[in-house]
């Protein structure tokens, strides 16, 4: 259902875009059909056609008069917004004065004044809101010096910071603060246990040793691994009580609040991501998914006018030249490779299949390594420094693989001989797959351990439906794993900064041997950095149910990331030589974020619905599944609300809704294809009009030549023929396309 809604959103954006392009083309087409006067005399079209026949004689004619479109604009019925007229200020003022004089006559003057005041109000509001935009100046400066690609990373980071901050406010308001309040007021009214707990008494044992005064050394270990004093605190699930407060006019059900807050948090993140995707999706639909080899697009839109400073300009020029040369080279190679023999093609494809297998084996080996590391670290319980290392073993394996495997994949991709653009996309896809699935493998291994591979009849899991011996409070353990992953990720980033990037810059700047010049300064690679952000965010989403303060920790982590990355960018990095298509990649990164969200929502749904909550801890300790608080709460509502909720959840409602969504999707995609077809039709019409115009001009020119020849032949036989010949040859150079069969509209 969610995928349907997402699909409809994209198609709607596509229609909007197509109709805007369609309208813009129509407007421009109209401007072209009544040819804009080429010369300062803005009379009818015939005049300009005639004048066109003798361009060489009139030297003033070379200056195209851009002021003339004003007359066209005046004649049109709709009063255009003055700013959108491409005239200089003097002319705009004149037009404005004319409009002002006309306004009292027209009865809609009040409307115009109202729209003006509304616009002013919007500007004031926008100005005030711009003060609240986080890091606006900093990100602008980054864009100016390093270009749009790097800026998109920081914009993405800012989006995640705001998302995490709002989520932590949400969780604090509905879960954390009520818990603190109720605990401090010592209101411990719990629901009476209705289950006979004679067998399960063993499951109730949970003793995380709170209140013992720890040694400083163990204090630090506990802080970093989430055990000891950290375990039994508001950080983790286990500390929250299943209190249900029902005083005179006020009732608050903590378990229900906990569950609903988690669900709402996920929905909120989904909606924010989709809204942000909607903006970029619109642009992606316009370009048709990123035109590769669009030389005209590169040349016309390639320059970034926001760049400042000689260094940035030179780098951008190098960048553009490099891209143009690479694209031209690619085209030449493509022409050459289209003539590959059968044997060469077959060998190339077998090589590619083999290398893909190698990549899959590498990734498979990584997953195996992660699974083994997780099992090993979960099964041991040593203390001290070794214990800490062992606890961080899964995180270390994941981070190491995330670093090593993409490097190997890059080297392998060089052998595969794809075009450069395909190589980049393939590398990104492989990196994404590696990161998200390795997290999935970790979670799967945990699940295996906790629920004895889902087998309830296993003797370890029999009484409590989970492995009670090792996991007295399994939710807290999962939360601890996510907490460790987040912390480790942060530590590794800071360590890389301090131990790798700064020394590299110092070495490159001061030592001028060939090796250092070859390696050069660090380049800020956008794609791996963004994937790291997506990975951290997925970890936070997965852990939010079990570690409610994790979004807050993540907010602080990302804020520190911003400052650290900015410092390293300006101090250590050079701009990327390979350009980065910011908008299509923005869309891709948000898509990957959505995949991460999907993974963590699977985890959420499974733990809420299927796994038995711990008996000894947490707000759901007496339910057989976390979801059970909801039906219980629904029963306590009044009759009509209960009926309404049951109806919405039943099949009687969801199946018609699904069918209706399918119908809407079909309608909207049909609309898109119709608009696309009209755009193609208009394009070919435009071509035909131009050909007709050329043909007519040629005819007129020939007639003119004949007439002038007849007129002037007795007087000046020499003088007129030269320019006429010149213009005749000029037009003859353009083959008369009106008589050519229609060619296929060029696919753009």
Partner 1 sequence: MGGTSSKLPKDLLSEYQELTFLTKQEILMAHKIFSELQDRENGPYSSRVSMEKVLTLPELKSNPFRKRICHVFSTSDMKDGSLSFEDFLDLLSAFSDSATLEIKSHYAFRIFDFDDDGTLDARDLEKLVNSLTGETDDTRLTAEEMRQLISNILEESDIDKDGTVNLSEFQHVISRSPDFVSSFKIVL
Residues numbered 176-195 forming contacts with partner 1, rule: CB under 8 A: none
246 contributes a contact to partner 1 by CB under 8 A: no
CB atoms within 10 A of CB 368: 11
Q: Which residues pair with 253 in a beta bridge?
A: 244
Range 127-166, binding partner 1 (CB under 8 A): 127, 140, 148
Nearest CB to partner 1, comparing residues 358 and 679: 679
CB of 329 to partner 1, least distance (A): 9
* The residue to which tokens 């699909």 are assigned: 7
Nearest CB to partner 1, comparing residues 313 and 379: 313
| Helix (H/G/I), strand (E/B), else coil: 301 | helix
Instruction: Measure Cα distances from 539 to 297, 557, 564, 596 in Å.
Output: 39, 13, 21, 9
| Helix (H/G/I), strand (E/B), else coil: 621 | coil
Find, among 15, 537, 531, the residue nearest to 281 by Cα. 15
Binding mask 683-702 for partner 1 (x = CB under 8 A): x--xx--xx--x--------
Residues 6 or more apart whose CB falls under 8 angstroms from that of 359 comprise 409, 412, 430
- CB of 580 within 8 A of CB of 155? no
Nearest CB to partner 1, comparing residues 372 and 691: 691
Question: How far is 414 from 420, CA to CA, in rounded Å?
Answer: 9
- CB of 665 within 8 A of CB of 289? no
Out of 40, 210, 288, 364, the residue judged to bind partner 1 by CB under 8 A? 288
Out of 284, 390, 439, 441, the residue judged to bind partner 1 by CB under 8 A? 284
Question: How far is 410 from 424, CA to CA, in rounded Å?
Answer: 9
| Helix (H/G/I), strand (E/B), else coil: 468 | coil
CB of 320 to partner 1, least distance (A): 5
Question: How far is 689 from 695, CA to CA, in rounded Å?
Answer: 10
Contacts 24+ apart (CB under 8 A), 334-339: 334/419
Question: How far is 175 from 66, CA to CA, in rounded Å?
Answer: 64
56 contributes a contact to partner 1 by CB under 8 A: no
CB atoms within 10 A of CB 187: 15
Q: On the CB side of 124, how many CA atoms lie within 13 Å of its CA? A: 6
Stretch that binds partner 1, among 222-230, 302-310, 343-351, 534-542 (CB under 8 A): 302-310
Out of 71, 74, 123, 742, the residue judged to bind partner 1 by CB under 8 A? 123
646 contributes a contact to partner 1 by CB under 8 A: no
Nearest CB to partner 1, comparing residues 301 and 640: 301
Range 316-345, binding partner 1 (CB under 8 A): 317-318, 320-321, 324-325, 328, 331
Question: How far is 162 from 142, CA to CA, in rounded Å?
Answer: 19
264 contributes a contact to partner 1 by CB under 8 A: no
63 contributes a contact to partner 1 by CB under 8 A: yes
CB of 63 to partner 1, least distance (A): 6
660 contributes a contact to partner 1 by CB under 8 A: no
Question: Helices (H) and strands (E) in the chain — how many of each?
Answer: 26, 4
Nearest CB to partner 1, comparing residues 120 and 652: 120
DSSP 3-state percent helix, strand, coil across the chain (nearest 5): 75, 0, 25
Range 82-111, binding partner 1 (CB under 8 A): 82-84, 86, 88-90, 92-93, 96
CB of 670 to partner 1, least distance (A): 23
313 contributes a contact to partner 1 by CB under 8 A: yes
Instruction: Measure Cα distances from 525 to 25, 149, 435, 680 in Å.
Output: 38, 9, 17, 38
Nearest CB to partner 1, comparing residues 156 and 541: 156
Nearest CB to partner 1, comparing residues 109 and 650: 109
Out of 163, 254, 257, 307, the residue judged to bind partner 1 by CB under 8 A? 307
Nearest CB to partner 1, comparing residues 90 and 193: 90
Nearest CB to partner 1, comparing residues 7 and 55: 55
CB of 24 to partner 1, least distance (A): 6
31 contributes a contact to partner 1 by CB under 8 A: yes
Burial class for 547, CB neighbours closer than 10 Å (0-12, 13-18, 19+):
buried
Binding mask 421-460 for partner 1 (x = CB under 8 A): ----------------------------------------
- φ and ψ at residue 29, rounded to 5 degrees: -60, -45
Range 725-744, binding partner 1 (CB under 8 A): 734, 737
Return the structure tokens found at 140: 């602008």
Binding mask 571-600 for partner 1 (x = CB under 8 A): ----------xxxx----------------
Nearest CB to partner 1, comparing residues 28 and 643: 28
Out of 114, 117, 308, 673, the residue judged to bind partner 1 by CB under 8 A? 308
Out of 295, 376, 647, 660, the residue judged to bind partner 1 by CB under 8 A? 295
- CB of 545 within 8 A of CB of 237? yes
643 contributes a contact to partner 1 by CB under 8 A: no
Out of 50, 314, 462, 722, the residue judged to bind partner 1 by CB under 8 A? 314
Question: How far is 220 from 727, CA to CA, in rounded Å?
Answer: 88
Nearest CB to partner 1, comparing residues 260 and 291: 291
Strands 573-574 and 522-523, how do they pair? parallel
294 contributes a contact to partner 1 by CB under 8 A: yes
């Amino acid at each position: 259902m969610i995928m349907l809604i997402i699909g409809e959103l994209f198609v709607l954006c596509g229609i909007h875009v197509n109709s805007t392009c369609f309208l813009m083309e129509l407007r421009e087409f109209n401007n072209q059909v009544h040819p804009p006067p080429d010369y300062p005399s803005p009379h009818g079209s015939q005049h300009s056609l005639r004048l066109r026949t003798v361009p060489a004689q009139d030297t003033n004619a070379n200056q195209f008069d851009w002021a003339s479109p004003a007359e066209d604009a005046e004649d049109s019925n709709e009063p255009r917004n003055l700013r959108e007229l491409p005239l200089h200020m003097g002319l705009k003022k004149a037009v404005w004065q004319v409009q002002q004089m006309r306004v009292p006559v027209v009865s809609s003057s009040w409307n115009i004044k109202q729209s003006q005041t509304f616009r002013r109000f919007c500007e004031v509001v926008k100005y005030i809101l711009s003060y609240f935009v986080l890091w606006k100046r900093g990100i602008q400066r980054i864009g100016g010096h390093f270009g749009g690609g790097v800026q998109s990373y920081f914009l993405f980071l800012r989006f995640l910071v705001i998302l995490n901050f709002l989520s932590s406010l949400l969780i604090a308001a509905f879960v954390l603060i009520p818990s603190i309040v109720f605990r401090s007021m010592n209101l411990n009214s719990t629901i009476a246990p209705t289950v006979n707990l004679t067998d399960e008494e063993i499951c109730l044992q949970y003793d995380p040793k709170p209140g013992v005064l720890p040694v400083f050394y163990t204090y630090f270990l506990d802080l970093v691994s989430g055990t000891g004093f950290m375990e039994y605190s508001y950080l983790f699930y286990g500390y929250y009580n299943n209190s249900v407060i029902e005083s005179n006019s006020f009732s608050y059900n903590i378990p229900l609040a906990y569950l609903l807050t988690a669900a709402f948090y996920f929905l909120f993140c989904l909606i924010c991501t989709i809204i942000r995707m909607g903006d970029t999706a619109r642009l992606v639909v316009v370009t048709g998914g990123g035109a590769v080899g669009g030389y005209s697009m590169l040349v016309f839109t390639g320059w970034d006018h926001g760049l400042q400073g000689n260094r940035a300009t030179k780098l951008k020029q190098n960048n553009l030249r490099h891209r143009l040369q690479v694209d031209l080279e690619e085209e030449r190679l493509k022409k050459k490779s289209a003539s590959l023999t059968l044997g060469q093609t077959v060998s190339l494809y077998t090589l590619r299949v083999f290398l893909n297998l190698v990549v899959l084996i590498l990734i498979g080996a990584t997953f195996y390594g992660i699974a083994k590391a997780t099992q090993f670290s979960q099964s041991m319980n040593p203390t001290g420094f070794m214990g800490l290392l062992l606890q961080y073993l899964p995180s270390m394996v994941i981070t190491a693989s995330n670093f090593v495997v993409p490097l190997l994949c890059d080297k392998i991709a060089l052998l595969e001989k794809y075009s450069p653009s395909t190589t980049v996309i393939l590398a990104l896809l492989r990196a994404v797959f590696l990161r998200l699935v390795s997290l999935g493998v970790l979670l799967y291994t945990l699940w295996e351990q906790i629920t004895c591979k889902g087998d309830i009849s296993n003797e370890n899991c029999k009484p409590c439906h989970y492995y009670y011996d090792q996991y007295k409070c399994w939710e807290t353990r999962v939360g601890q794993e996510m907490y460790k992953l987040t912390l480790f990720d942060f530590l590794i980033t800071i360590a890389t900064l301090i131990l790798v990037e700064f020394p590299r810059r110092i070495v490159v700047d001061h030592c001028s041997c060939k090796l250092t010049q070859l390696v050069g300064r660090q380049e800020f690679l956008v794609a791996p950095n963004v994937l790291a952000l997506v990975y951290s965010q997925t970890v936070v989403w997965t852990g939010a149910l079990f570690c409610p303060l994790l979004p807050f920790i993540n907010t602080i982590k990302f804020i520190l990331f911003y400052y650290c990355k900015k410092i390293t960018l300006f101090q250590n990095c050079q701009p990327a030589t390979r350009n980065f298509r910011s908008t299509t990649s923005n869309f891709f990164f948000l898509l990957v974020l959505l995949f991460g969200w999907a993974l963590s929502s699977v985890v959420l749904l499974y733990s809420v619905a299927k796994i038995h909550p711990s008996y000894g801890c947490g707000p759901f300790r007496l339910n057989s599944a976390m979801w059970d608080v909801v039906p219980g709460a629904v029963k306590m509502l009044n009759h009509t609300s209960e009926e309404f909720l049951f109806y919405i959840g039943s099949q009687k409602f969801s199946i018609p809704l699904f069918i209706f969504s399918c119908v809407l999707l079909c309608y909207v995609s049909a609309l898109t294809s119709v608009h696309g077809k009209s755009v193609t039709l208009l394009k070919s019409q435009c071509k035909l009009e131009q050909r007709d115009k050329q043909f007519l001009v040629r005819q007129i020119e020939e007639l003119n030549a004949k007439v002038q020849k007849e007129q002037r032949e007795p007087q000046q036989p020499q003088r007129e023929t030269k320019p006429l010949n010149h213009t005749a040859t000029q037009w003859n150079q353009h083959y008369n396309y009106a008589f050519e069969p229609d060619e296929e509209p060029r696919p753009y």
